[in-house]
């Protein structure tokens, strides 16, 4: 099982219960309230892997696009 506190502490950004972390593929997103739900987005926003339903992927993707500027160096 995922250690939610560890993921949250290592996250680059947390928005409304979703932890966003940069990775080699692009961005990993974990729903901290439902740790069995995650998605990996490419740098251009395409879904590479997911255990989320379509609606939740859309929500996480929207949060990423609206807040990506806060994750820039």
Phi and psi torsions of 35, nearest 5°: -65, -5
Distance CA 52, CA 23 (A): 18
How do residues 6-43 score in pLDDT, each as one tens digit?
999 999 999 999 999 999 999 999 999 999 999 999 99
Residue 53 domain boundaries: 4-71
Strands 38-42, 47-50: pairing is antiparallel
Count: domains in the chain: 1
Give which of 60, 52, 55 is closest to 26, Cα–Cα.
60
pLDDT tens figures, 47-63: 999 999 999 999 999 99
End-to-end, the C-alpha distance of the chain in Å comes to 31
């Amino acid at each position: 099982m995922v250690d939610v506190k560890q993921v949250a502490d290592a996250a680059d950004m947390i928005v409304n219960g979703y932890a966003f972390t940069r990775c080699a593929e692009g961005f990993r997103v974990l729903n901290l309230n439902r740790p069995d739900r995650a998605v990996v987005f490419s740098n251009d926003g395409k879904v590479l892997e997911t255990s989320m339903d379509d609606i939740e992927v859309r929500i996480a993707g929207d949060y990423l696009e609206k807040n990506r500027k806060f994750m820039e160096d």
